[in-house]
């Protein structure tokens, strides 16, 4: 019995060990390759998987999730012989676990070496200015080349990004000076354009002002001419009325005309700019006496007449620009 018990215990332990060796749990995002006597047989997906103990074994545990490959900084020469340092990062995903396990020895190292080589190739085909300003084009070229090269390994390269491009220090200083000169050039051009536009606007404003001033002078001259014409018409009408009144022996019209001319002469004499003191040799009563004397002379020449008041009123109205109706002397405005 003692030997049989030992056998049973050993047999039970062997069964438990066999079951443990035949059950495999695959985590999510991974795939296990199964090898039978060292040869690939099949792949186990996420979850519980079974293999034949002592005959099959797990070959590779392949990460099926998207992974990041950090490409270290490296030197590269551009098409115009400028040395630059480039940092990049690549994203890839294993789509076929068997090929990623058995078609390449070290997948990460292979992808890293392939990325660095292709970065040098792409950089060498571009000028420095194009390299600095066309990163999207560089990323696209690298992605296309890398995806085609990694496809036989069952790997999909999803993205490649250039993190940084560093030119030499002296070249960076020259580029900074060039950029500063270019910006100063643009500023000078914009300033000149602004000054030109301002001068054009000022010239347009002066032109418009001159046109408006000329139109104003034209309108003023027209108004002045019209005023002189009306004044001349009034003077002619007044002269005609006085001539008719004198011819008819109207003393009041003659007195009015003489008095008006006399007062205008005194006014002009007093308003002369070269006169500081005006000495009037006669008094106001003397002016009236002079007018009365002139009236007496007119009476002597023409005799007495009764129509002088009407003619004087018509003369006054003509001076104001309107002639009263001939119905009677009471219709005229007072002098």
- pLDDT at residue 321 is higher than 60: no
- pLDDT at residue 10 is higher than 60: yes
Domain ranges of the chain: 1-62, 65-167, 169-243
**Which of the pair, 115 or 302, is modelled with greater confidence?**
115
Predicted local distance difference test score (pLDDT) of residue 241: 72
The answer to whether 284 touches 327, Cβ cutoff 8 Å, is no
Predicted local distance difference test score (pLDDT) of residue 277: 58
**Which of the pair, 286 or 33, is modelled with greater confidence?**
33
Predicted local distance difference test score (pLDDT) of residue 332: 35
Predicted local distance difference test score (pLDDT) of residue 253: 61
Q: What is the mean pLDDT of the chain?
A: 78
- Structure-block tokens of residue 125: 């085909």
**Mean pLDDT of all residues in 239-259:** 68
**Mean pLDDT of all residues in 33-51:** 90
Predicted local distance difference test score (pLDDT) of residue 331: 38
**Mean pLDDT of all residues in 295-314:** 49
Place of tokens 């070249």: 171
Q: What pLDDT, in 10s, does the model give residues 128-141?
A: 888 888 888 889 98
Q: Among candidates 17, 52, 46, 13, which has minimal Cα distance to 32?
A: 46
**Band of pLDDT at residue 152, cut at 50, 70 and 90:** very high
**Mean pLDDT of all residues in 301-315:** 48
- pLDDT at residue 182 is higher than 70: yes
**Band of pLDDT at residue 295, cut at 50, 70 and 90:** low
**Mean pLDDT of all residues in 297-307:** 47
Rounded Cα gap, residues 119 and 74, in angstroms: 9
CATH class of 65-167: alpha beta
Q: What pLDDT, in 10s, does the model give residues 83-108?
A: 888 989 999 999 999 999 999 888 99
The answer to whether 97 touches 136, Cβ cutoff 8 Å, is no
Predicted local distance difference test score (pLDDT) of residue 15: 83
CB contact set of 53 (below 8 Å; sequence gap of 6+): 18, 19, 21, 22
- pLDDT at residue 13 is higher than 80: yes
Rounded Cα gap, residues 278 and 311, in angstroms: 34
Q: What global pTM score does this model have?
A: 0.52
The answer to whether 87 touches 162, Cβ cutoff 8 Å, is yes
Alpha helices by DSSP H, 103-168: 107-124, 128-133, 135-150
**Mean pLDDT of all residues in 164-182:** 79
Rounded Cα gap, residues 205 and 214, in angstroms: 14
Predicted local distance difference test score (pLDDT) of residue 65: 94
């Amino acid at each position: 019995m003692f030997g049989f018990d030992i056998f049973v215990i050993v047999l039970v332990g062997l069964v438990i060990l066999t079951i443990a060796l035949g059950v495999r749990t695959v985590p999510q995002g991974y795939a296990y390759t199964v090898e039978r006597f060292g040869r690939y047989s099949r792949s186990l997906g996420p979850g519980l998987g079974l293999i034949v103990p002592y005959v099959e074994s797990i070959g590779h545990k392949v990460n099926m999730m998207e992974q990041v490959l950090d490409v270290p900084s490296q030197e590269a020469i551009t098409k115009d012989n400028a040395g630059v340092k480039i940092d990049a990062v690549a994203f890839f995903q294993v789509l076929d676990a068997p090929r990623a396990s058995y078609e390449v020895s070290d997948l990460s190292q292979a992808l890293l070496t392939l990325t660095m080589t292709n970065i040098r190739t792409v950089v060498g085909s571009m000028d420095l200015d194009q390299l600095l300003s066309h990163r999207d084009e560089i990323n696209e070229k690298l992605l296309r080349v890398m995806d085609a090269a990694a496809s036989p390994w069952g790997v999909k390269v999803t993205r490649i990004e250039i993190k940084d491009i560093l030119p030499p220090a002296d070249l960076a200083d020259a580029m900074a000076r060039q950029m500063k000169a270019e910006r100063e050039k643009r500023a000078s051009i914009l300033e000149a354009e602004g000054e030109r536009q301002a001068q054009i606007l000022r010239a347009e404003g002066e032109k418009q002002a001159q046109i408006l001033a000329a139109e104003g002078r034209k309108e003023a001259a027209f108004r002045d001419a019209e005023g002189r014409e009306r004044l001349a018409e009034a003077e002619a009408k007044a002269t005609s009325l006085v001539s008719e009144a004198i011819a008819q022996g109207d003393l009041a019209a003659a007195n009015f005309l003489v008095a008006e001319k006399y007062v205008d002469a005194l006014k002009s004499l007093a308003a002369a700019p070269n006169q500081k003191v005006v000495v009037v040799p006669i008094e106001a009563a003397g002016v009236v006496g002079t007018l009365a004397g002139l009236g007496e002379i007119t009476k002597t020449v023409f005799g007495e007449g009764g129509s002088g008041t009407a003619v004087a009123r018509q003369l006054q109205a003509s001076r104001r620009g309107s002639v009263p109706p001939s119905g009677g002397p009471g219709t005229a405005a007072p002098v």
